Amino acid sequence: MAMTSAVSTRTSVKLAASDRLLMRLSMPYRIVATACGIFLLFVPMLMTFYISLFDQPFITFPPRGYTWRWFTELYADFGHPFMVSLQVALAVVVLSLLIGVPAGIGLSRYEFRGKGTISMLLLSPLTIPSIAISLSILTAAIAIQQRTGVVLTGSYSILVVGHVLIATPWVVRLCLVSLANHNRAVEEAAASLGATPLVVILRVTIPAMRQGMIAAALFAFIISFESLEMSLFLVSPGISTLPVATLNYLEVKVDPLIAALSVVQIIFVAAVLLVLDRFVRLGRNIVH
């Protein structure tokens, strides 16, 4: 008895020392990490606000003067790609929810052979580099078009399909999370009262997933709206997405116009998020 307690006292003293060290380290570390995070995320963003007002076509400090004119020139260069991105993203939200929500329910509510494989398959677009998927979709589209004459290249369809592929895993994941947190007693009660499985899903499960589905829709929208790698090979003349159009512009030059584009996009996104937040408390639903 005496011996063990002596040992445990010694270890606790040693641990207490290491704890003190940790405590001394952890506070500065947390501050430094947070500062680095703020730097990585926001300094570039704030700089674009400043640059977008420069009255000169190239970026050197100090500027020759300040102007709003870049903002008025934006629509001519980027209005069309913005609309394309918006349309594609909205189509992707609808399609990925249509296939992803049922898949999420199926994976969470039923046990069957091969379930692991299907779950892995559905989540796999997250782990396969999308640039490789994008190129293989293009070559497949060309091959199909050559053999059947069905026009796939140069259409919205392959772009939407590509984006649906990478949005669906997020929808499935968020549905799984939302269902895992949901108490199943209600579903079981409904079933024991004689409701068919389909009725249970329609009347009980889906209404319970409402918040999760909104988060899923939001994520599907983000994934599509900002995907560059998946779009690289699937865009075509007249159907260029905003990230690709931005990249093409940036490969030629950086100027206050592109900074103005960033500013408009940041403000637009912030406004949409704030409005949505009033309805669904994003902070809660994306994270859970």
- Taking CB under 8 A as the criterion, which residues in 42-61 touch other proteins? 42-45, 47-48, 50-51, 57-61
> In terms of Cα–Cα distance, which of 203, 201, 208, 212 is closest to 176?
212
User: Per rule CB under 8 A, is residue 149 in the interface with other proteins?
Assistant: yes
Of the candidate residues 71, 145, 186, 280, the single one contacting other proteins (CB under 8 A): 145
Query: Which residues in the 174-203 window bind other proteins by CB under 8 A?
Result: 176-177, 180, 184, 197-198, 201
Please report, for residues 141, 174, 192, 204, the alpha-carbon distance to residue 184 in angstroms, rounded to integers and kept in the order given: 44, 17, 12, 10
Nearer to other proteins, 14 or 210 (CB): 14
User: Per rule CB under 8 A, is residue 270 in the interface with other proteins?
Assistant: yes
- Cα distance between residue 242 and residue 226, in whole Å: 8
Of the candidate residues 6, 94, 121, 202, the single one contacting other proteins (CB under 8 A): 121
Nearer to other proteins, 6 or 25 (CB): 25
Nearer to other proteins, 2 or 252 (CB): 252
Residue ranges of the alpha helices (H) in 110-209?
115-123, 130-148, 156-180, 185-192, 197-200, 206-208
User: Per rule CB under 8 A, is residue 205 in the interface with other proteins?
Assistant: no
Please report, for residues 122, 232, 255, 259, the alpha-carbon distance to residue 249 in angstroms, rounded to integers and kept in the order given: 35, 14, 10, 12
Look up residue 143 and give its two tokens.
Answer: 């091959």
- Cα distance between residue 99 and residue 171, in whole Å: 9
User: Per rule CB under 8 A, is residue 261 in the interface with other proteins?
Assistant: yes
Q: Which stretch binds other proteins (CB under 8 A): 2-10, 167-175, 206-214?
A: 167-175
Burial class (CB in 10 A: 0-12, 13-18, 19+), 78: buried
Nearer to other proteins, 2 or 116 (CB): 116
Query: Which residues in the 66-85 window bind other proteins by CB under 8 A?
Result: none
Q: Which stretch binds other proteins (CB under 8 A): 1-9, 131-139, 206-214?
A: 131-139
Of the candidate residues 252, 275, 278, 279, the single one contacting other proteins (CB under 8 A): 252
User: Per rule CB under 8 A, is residue 65 in the interface with other proteins?
Assistant: no
> Cβ of residue 201: shortest distance to other proteins, in angstroms?
8
User: Using H for helix, E for strand and C for coil, what is the string for 195-221?
Assistant: CCHHHHHHHHHHHHCHHHHHHHHHHHH
> Cβ of residue 29: shortest distance to other proteins, in angstroms?
7
CA-based R_g, the chain, Å:
26
